[in-house]
Chains A and B, each alone.
Chain A
Amino acid sequence: GAGVSQSPSNKVTEKGKDVELRCDPISGHTALYWYRQRLGQGLEFLIYFQGNSAPDKSGLPSDRFSAERTGESVSTLTIQRTQQEDSAVYLCASSWDGNQPQHFGDGTRLSIL
């Protein structure tokens, strides 16, 4: 399987807890994206990494959200002090570069109790 891999596939946690979501992009893809998808909605851009450039964090909804990427490989999205409105599917995508189609993982379904 050479697709984008995300873990965990499902995460249930209590309000106020921190969560960490992981994304393994397709090997060789320099661009990596995180999106949030609320139930029945389209995808909401969160953050974009391209090689060694500074990430585009313009979509992060609050300072409780942060993301890191190690070189051109794994990325983690961290949500601190989770709130119920954070409940959504968090999708990761990667592409060869910023001008190529993005390929998505199957997401992490996050539920905040």
Chain B
Amino acid sequence: GESVGLHLPTLSVQEGDNSIINCAYSNSASDYFIWYKQESGKGPQFIIDIRSNMDKRQGQRVTVLLNKTVKHLSLQIAATQPGDSAVYFCAEKRGAQKLVFGQGTRLTINP
């Protein structure tokens, strides 16, 4: 069935290194993708989004890459900081504004 999934459930990186979180999607008709960050006890926080007419979008220390050929989405975080430790979710918009979330990747930044 259709799904939005993540390759790795956990990821540990050293402070200052770059991190890459990956996401696979199966619905080629999806046209909007979002990355959210969720800290413990908090709601998801919007990080960055990308529409299907783009393959790359940059924000502050974050870059989202979209490869429609292989239906793959990634979030790159540059120069990671302790505050980047959280669970990261990709989400895909299908149909009428209905977001479908993946299971999440827990990112841990080691000092």
Contacts and interface: CB of A to CB of B under 8 A. Distances in A.
Q: Which bucket holds chain A's interface residue count?
A: 20 to 34
B43 A42 contact: no
Contacts of A44: 101
B41 A102 contact: no
A102 B46 contact: yes
Interface residues of B, number: 21
Contact of B97 (A31, A41, A105): A31
A104 B91 CA distance: 14
Given A42-B89, A104-B43, A104-B44, A98 B104 contact: no
Nearest to B51: A99
B104 A42 contact: yes
Interface string B7-48: 000000000000000000000000010101000011111100
A101 interface: yes
A106 B99 contact: no
B103 to A, nearest CB: 5
Interface of B: 32, 34, 36, 41-46, 49, 89, 91, 96-104
